Amino acid sequence: MTKDNLIFGLAGMVLGVIVGVVLMSSSGGRQSSSTPVPQQVATTSNPNATATAPEQGQLPDGHPPVDETALKSRVAEQQEILKKDPNNQEATVALANLNFDLKNYQEAIQFYEKALERDASNINLITDLGTAHMWMGNYDKAQELYNKSLSMDPKHLQSLMNMGIVRMSIGDRAGAAEMWEKVLTYYPNHPEADMLKQAVAKLRENPKGSG
């Protein structure tokens, strides 16, 4: 499961748009289709634009193709495990992640919720559920879940980065800047630190995104 790596690549694209630079993907590591990608984060000609609602199934430029056949085969394997052991947590989480990778976000949400019924304090499951809702355009629910994660760990990197993306998506530039300022405070050596600093500066200079 590599959605955590792509969320940083997505954040890099968002940040790149804000500062007027096009980034295909960044922050290193493998990429996966399981992180929401805005239909149009913004246009490079307008660095003041904000992100728009995500389009399900869209992948960023340069993203490797998804092997749906292999993923569906793994889904079938995990489903067989659940038939024999309906309370198998590992299979439940695997099905949540696999459905996420297959862009079956509603199914992913259902499996994340089942997994959380057994492990309610699992911060990574809470964050992944929030990201699934972000893909569905359920921004209020996504923020609720990220806030829950951050109440458990105010320094949770994925939640801070994702919350910034959600706030950009709803046009809350000041809110996005606030989240990414926290990333800079807690993770000054983050691979996107320089881009974060530039993006935050532009968002603070023009919090309404006009002009």
Q: Which domains does the chain have, with CATH numbers?
A: 3-205 (1.25.40.10)
Q: CA 118, CA 112: separation in Å to the nearest integer?
A: 10
Q: Is it the case that residue 189 has pLDDT exceeding 50?
A: yes
Inform me whether the pLDDT recorded for 133 exceeds 70.
Answer: yes
Backbone angles phi, psi at 170, to 5 degrees: -100, 5
Categorize the per-residue pLDDT at 10 as very low, low, confident or very high, splitting at 50, 70 and 90.
Answer: low
Structure pTM? 0.74
The vertex-155 CA angle with 149 and 156, nearest 5°, equals: 45
Report whether 155 contacts 173 (CB < 8 A). no
Q: How far apart are CA 74 and CA 94, in angstroms?
A: 9
The tokens of 57 are what? 């199934």
β-partners of residue 38 are 54
